[in-house]
Amino acid sequence: MNTTTPLPIFHHLATLRDETRTRLLALLESGEFTVSELCSALQAPQPTVSRHLKTLADDGWVVPRAEGRNRHYRLSSTLDPASRELWQIVRQGLDGQVYDDDAERARQVLLERRRRSAEFFAGSADRWDYLRRDLFGDRADLLPFFGLVDPAWTVGDLGTGTGGLAAVLSPFVSGVIAVDRSNAMLEEATRRLRGMGNVELRLGELEALPLSDEEIDLAVMSLVLHYTVDPRDALGEAWRVLKPGGTLLVVELRAHDRGPEYAQAMGHVWPGFEQAELGAWMQGAGFDAVHSAPLPPDPEARGPLLFVARGTRPRS
């Protein structure tokens, strides 16, 4: 064994023998702080704090994160077991007023941080929705729910149009079968979905789906039933292609009085649906646990109000 090469544990001991560094680690164990916040908590000059943070970072104890001109530091979450055990031993021996004072000043630093955040929200409440949409888009509130979809599922996007929903679903599931009766729509969907290898486009009618019996786990009909001549036929087809235990999700227009206008301008066949009526049709098609609920209106939308309905194909 080469005795001139120091063992890692001794190297760590050399790092931890400095009180300023143990004070820093004690604070960073409780959360992430900027250099200026650590200076305030330790009442130490910035060059001193930065020098000790660099030593701790070089030795793997802390991890820096740049945010604009600020650097944030936190205790490393990837310490090896020996280092974690060593720190626990050292931590138990850190006793004294200086550590209590550091912790008290750090709590004040965090209170100040929360105060600044609260001031922002207090001054931004009237434009918060706009700010969120501007930063994250209109779907920010809905996208997390796609994480509830089982990643092993095959989903049928029935009436996919230009593939917008299929594109959103694709990263969350095993596969998407996107069906539409319009070649022109599928051409647009092909362009949008290029590079998404788990999406398959198929040409076909909702009333005669180009899917095998029990081929999919989830069927989605989003704003398409009002284009069908007989929605009950489409619901029956959805039941056929779903696996036992599979779910049908329908998003539709609530009944409205603009039927002639939309029939002429957009080819609508149905002027929306009553929730109870659609629920009865779903039950008639064989679905259990049918439930529907109105969707909250979008203040910027000019069309009819919407609702969502779901039902499950029984397992037996």
Q: What is the pLDDT of residues 150-198, one digit of tens each?
A: 999 999 999 999 999 999 999 999 999 999 989 999 999 999 999 999 9
Residue-averaged pLDDT of the chain = 87
Alpha-carbon span 56 to 42, nearest angstrom? 16
Question: Cα torsion for 123, 129, 132, 136, to the nearest 10°?
Answer: -170
Whether the pLDDT of residue 69 is over 90: the answer is: no
Amino acid at 298: D
Percent of the chain at pLDDT > 90 equals 54
What band does 8 get if pLDDT is binned at 50, 70 and 90?
low
Mean pLDDT of 220-236: 92
Cβ neighbors of 132 (< 8 A, separation 6 or more) are: 140
Is-contact 285 297, C-beta < 8 A? no
* Backbone region of residue 31 per phi and psi (left: phi > 0; alpha: psi in -120 to 50; beta: other values): left
Alpha-carbon span 272 to 46, nearest angstrom? 66
Is-contact 25 56, C-beta < 8 A? yes
Whether the pLDDT of residue 5 is over 70: the answer is: no
Alpha-carbon span 179 to 161, nearest angstrom? 8
Total length of the chain:
316
Q: Indicate the SS3 state at residue 17.
A: coil
Regarding pTM above 0.85, the answer is no
Whether the pLDDT of residue 51 is over 90: the answer is: yes
More confident residue, 116 or 107: 107
pLDDT per residue as tens digits for the range 74-100: 998 888 888 888 888 888 888 789 989
Q: What is the pLDDT of residue 4?
A: 46
